[in-house]
Amino acid sequence: MSILIIGQGIAGTLLASALRQQGAQVHIADGNLTGSSSVAAAGIINPVTGKRFVKSWRFDEFFPVAKETYQQLEQELGIQIWEERPTLRLLGTPEEANDWSIRCAQPEYNNHLGETDDPGAWGQYLKPGFRFGVILKSARANLPLLLSSYREVARQTGSFFEKNFDYQETEALLKDYDQIVFCEGWRATANPYFPEAQFRVSKGEALIIKFTGQITATPPSDMLKKTMLLVPMGDSTFWVGSTYRWHFEDTLPGEEGRDYILGYLKEMFEVPFEIVRHVSGIRPTMIDRRPIVGPSTLNPNVLIFNGLGTKGSLLAPFFAKQLAKELCKA
C-alpha cells in the first residue's frame, strides 16, 4: 500500500505516523503555505469549553488515544511534546462562579474540574477581584516541535517533499500511489475533489509575551484561562490567545488581532509585559464542527482528513488511527 499525503500539519503528520504503523509506504508533500494552523496553535487539550463549561465532544474516548499517540512519538523522535498541567480558570462574575460550582458537583465533571480560592503563582500577576476554578485534566501537545522533528526525520529518509501540490497532478500521481490523502487544512476550501465539504474557516491570532515587572516568585507553570488562554512556554514567556475572525482578507498577524488580545491582558493583569512574537493561522472548521474523513465522491482513491477546527490536538490522534486502519484493511 503506497500513500501520498498532501499537507504536513497535525492531520498529515499523525496520519503518516499511523499509516506507517500499519505497514504502509508513505510520502508527504507540504508547500509551507501561509496560514497553517498547527504552527500557530498552543496545542491545548481541555475537557470543558465555552461559556457554560460543557464537556468536549467524546472527550473521555479521545483523550487516552491522544496521550498514547503523543507519548509514543516522544519516544520515537526523542523529544518532549506532551505535558499534563492544571489550568487555573478565572471566573469574572458571581454567575460564572455559580455555574462552575454546579458543574463541579456533577458526577460527569468532578474528575475534571475543581474549586479553589488560591490562584497559586498567578496571584502575583493578576488584578484583584477574580474568583477561581481549576481544570484538573488539561494537557498540551507541542505541535510546532512535533511537526518540525517529524519533517526532519521524513526528509532524511527521503519521504518528505517540499512542494505546493497542484490539483491537476492528482490523476497522474495515482499511477504511482494507491491513494492520495489531502490534509491541507483551510486550503481544502478550494479542493475540487470535495465540493460538498462545508467549511467555515476562522482566522486566529496569538501573542507570545514576557512579563517585565518586578516578579519575586517562580513564574507559573499552570495554564490560565478566562476569555484568553495563557500557556507557559518556558523562559518566562507565555503564549496568549486566541482571536476568532470569520471574515478576513489575509492570513497574516494584524493590528486588530493584537489590540484585541492586549485589551484582555490589560483587564486581567497589573504586571507590565512586552510582546515577543505575534502569530496567526486559519482554523479548518466545518459548519457542523465535526472532522471530515473519507473518500471523494469523484474518485475513491482520493481522500480527505480535515475539519479539525479548534481541537486538532485532541481529535487528530483518534481519527488518524481510524483512517489508517481503514485504508490498510484492503
Q: For the CB of residue 256, give the shortest distance to ligand FAD in the complex, in Å.
A: 14
Provide, rounded to whole angstroms, the least separation between the CB of residue 191 and ligand FAD: 8
Closest approach, Cβ 11 to ligand FAD, in A, equals 3
Burial 250-278 (b: 16+ CB within 10 A, else e): ebebbeebbebbeebbeebbeeebeeeeb
Q: Find the shortest distance in angstroms from Cβ 220 to ligand FAD.
A: 17
Which residues on neighbouring strands pair with residue 239, listed in sequence order? 208, 231
Cell numbers 490522534: residue: 317
Whichever of 131 and 183 has its CB closer to ligand FAD, that residue is 183
Q: Report in angstroms how near the CB of residue 141 gets to ligand FAD at its nearest.
A: 8
Interface residue list for ligand FAD (CB under 6 A): 6-12, 29-33, 36-38, 40-44, 164-165, 183-185, 187, 204-206, 241-242, 281, 283-284, 306, 308-314
Q: How near is the Cβ of 101 to ligand FAD at its closest, in Å? A: 26
Q: What is the DSSP letter of 108?
A: T
Q: Which residue is nearest to ligand FAD (CB)?
A: 9
Q: Is 135 helix (H, G, I), strand (E, B) or coil?
A: strand
Output 46 or 124, the one with its CB closest to ligand FAD: 46
Classify each residue of 7-38 as buried b or exposed e, where b means 16 or more C-beta atoms within 10 Å of its C-beta.
bbbbbbbbbbbbbbeeebebbbbbbeeebbbb
Q: Return the number of the residue (44 or 124) whose C-beta is nearest ligand FAD.
A: 44
CB atoms within 10 A of CB 156: 9
d(CA 209, CA 188): 32
Nearer to ligand FAD, 165 or 238 (CB): 165
Nearer to ligand FAD by Cβ, of 131 and 307: the residue is: 307
Smaller CB separation from ligand FAD, 179 or 310: 310
